[in-house]
Structure 1
């Protein structure tokens, strides 16, 4: 009996030292950038830190990786005098050494991509998510920081901005929308000591804009072990991208256009298992944001209800108007949109019919044919079609100095994005 008790104590000893909850997926490291940027010039440096959120104050070891290659063990990692070959995705991992039971490895952190550019221009974009309505702040950096004369900004190879004056490398796009996302690049020009104009273009970088509130997706779960058999669960999935402190988000659920309950902060609701057309609505009252999900049909729905879904009717929060018993509901008629009006429409002159009679003479200018076949001159002062003056309807080009697509100046020295096979060594620029 004493041997059995001693055996049980030995088995439970590791659990008493390190709890069972210490698993590989419990702790995930996070990489933060202490100095530098995710895109740097060759010869520059960047410094990273690996941290693990731990309320038990364990003693951790940190490992750094580039891809699958183990680099070193340290809490911080630095690239000094970086070379283009050191570009890649960097991640870190934590290791806790248990006295009994062996080491515990955390999962890898989310990778951070470092790009070492051997060219002459870099476009720096924000590292944090960019939200709809924000001001997009960009920086067009040039190696060795020369005094720039003019900076051009491109989106998807189209010029959208040009800027000169003091500090033209700082570019601001206020109140951006989802249409502003795309591939951004910049071109900078400056004067060299040899009185030549130098131009350098950066590598294009992707800029993604996030919606504040995405379109909800309704999920209907019929079988759930945590609800009764005659019930089902509605879940309204949505992404709410607002910086803290975020205003409250309210959820509404509907069946056949009728709201099932009052607003709730929970994105799910348990309802009775009945056929119908279900939808949900997400609303942020303080930001005046509201998004509807698509209607989801559950079970066998009567034909009258299914016809309503074909015309894209949104559920209404208020109750429908009750008609008298003798009256019938009027038919739903969807009118097409009015056709746009064309301004200054110039009528075209009628085309003369093709003459196929080989015996007839060619008709002279200013003559018309009659039943007798004789050419009779016509009075052209009353029947001539006079086109409208086209000078009043011509579009006058506006000043396009800031938005016109201008081809790159061919008279200046032009430096394309550098080939990543080696560092830049332009003898003109190295003077």
Structure 2
């Protein structure tokens, strides 16, 4: 009789333990964290139309994940952080002014292992501007580089025959034409700024005139002037110090490399390095001085030098 009771007791105990384990697993699964983003960023691009358009016109945006097969991904869209739903291509048909804004997307797909789904990083914002007026200045969609050519187009709604077009930069008239297109060859850094246009046309035997809103045009150097960063410009003897040389290569060919040189009081601290950081593992009093960095792209024969930064070294932490 006691043996039977012990068996029943053990069976009930095992059953309760099994139920507790299942409950624990269910609770853990219900509290699963959101999928960790993959080290890849989704990308938005205009696949039809233009990102700067008149109200009533159409544009469509596409979301993609670089170097990843498309069929596996579901794409989620946002405008100024407002959810727009899930689409491969997002259409703005007969667009309205209020539909302008910053559009982003991210990709999500199922995977075979826990947490069973994965997300990309959100894309960089892609600005869509919808103009409700009569004049709109078309500018390049991407920042331009020095020595490239820029074309500005003064668009007028319904494309009437133009009599005169004036182009302005930073409040100053720069060109007067009868054509809607202005071509600026061999750009320099001085060509960046706010541009707009004013057009006159004849419609129904009457003269009409309209002016576009200003739009900023960026012109980039091929290699940015570097900035030397030091976490603290006054340190204690014996501390570890990292110098970081911050620059950016703004070219269409992404395969070119940058050589980094670090200097103290104008003298090089070593040979060229592909690394943007330089480590001083144990700072000494004689390491105090003026530090700078130089960057070079050999293939383009480009070279830039940073401003000097003074590093001070104290003997103790008093």
TM-score bracket, shorter-length normalisation: 0.7 to 0.9
Kept in 2: contact 1:256–1:276 (CA 8 A) = no
2:183 is aligned with 1:183: no
1:233 deviates by 3.5
Q: CA RMSD in A?
A: 3.5
Correspondence for 2:182: 171
**After superposition, where does 1:288-367 map in structure 2 within 5 Å?**
288-300=301-313
Correspondence for 2:88: 75
Q: Distance in 2 between matches of 1:145 and 1:104?
A: 47
Quick one: which of 19, 31, 54 aligns to 1:41?
54
Where 2:275 maps in the other structure, the secondary structure is coil
1:69 deviates by 2.7
Quick one: which of 252, 257, 270 aligns to 1:243?
252
Correspondence for 1:96: 109
Correspondence for 1:256: 265
Correspondence for 1:117: 131
**Structure 2 unaligned runs (5+)?**
1-16, 26-32, 233-237
Correspondence for 1:265: 274
Where 1:134 maps in the other structure, the secondary structure is coil
Kept in 1: contact 2:163–2:201 (CA 8 A) = yes
Kept in 2: contact 1:84–1:118 (CA 8 A) = yes
Where 1:77 maps in the other structure, the secondary structure is strand
Runs of 4+ in 1 over 6 A off after TM superposition: none
Q: Distance in 1 between matches of 2:135 and 2:108?
A: 40
**Structure 1 unaligned runs (5+)?**
12-19, 223-228, 302-431
Kept in 2: contact 1:58–1:96 (CA 8 A) = no
Task: Tell me which moved more, 200-209 or 85-94.
Answer: 85-94
Where 2:41 maps in the other structure, the secondary structure is coil
TM-score by length of 2: 0.75
1:244 deviates by 0.6
Alignment size in residue pairs: 281
1:78 deviates by 0.6
Kept in 2: contact 1:63–1:72 (CA 8 A) = yes
1:231 deviates by 6.1
Question: Counting strand residues as a fraction of each chain, which structure ranks higher?
Answer: 2
Quick one: which of 48, 62, 77 aligns to 1:64?
77
Kept in 1: contact 2:243–2:279 (CA 8 A) = yes
Where 2:90 maps in the other structure, the secondary structure is strand
Kept in 2: contact 1:125–1:137 (CA 8 A) = yes
Residues 262 and 40 (structure 1), Cα distance of their counterparts in 2 relative to 1, 3 Å cut:
same
Residues 219 and 72 (structure 1), Cα distance of their counterparts in 2 relative to 1, 3 Å cut:
closer
2:297 is aligned with 1:284: yes
TM-score by length of 1: 0.57
1:205 deviates by 0.6
1:300 deviates by 4.1
1:253 deviates by 1.6
1:132 deviates by 2.4
Quick one: which of 156, 170, 176 aligns to 1:156?
170
Q: Distance in 2 between matches of 1:191 and 1:56?
A: 52
Quick one: which of 45, 49, 65 aligns to 1:52?
65
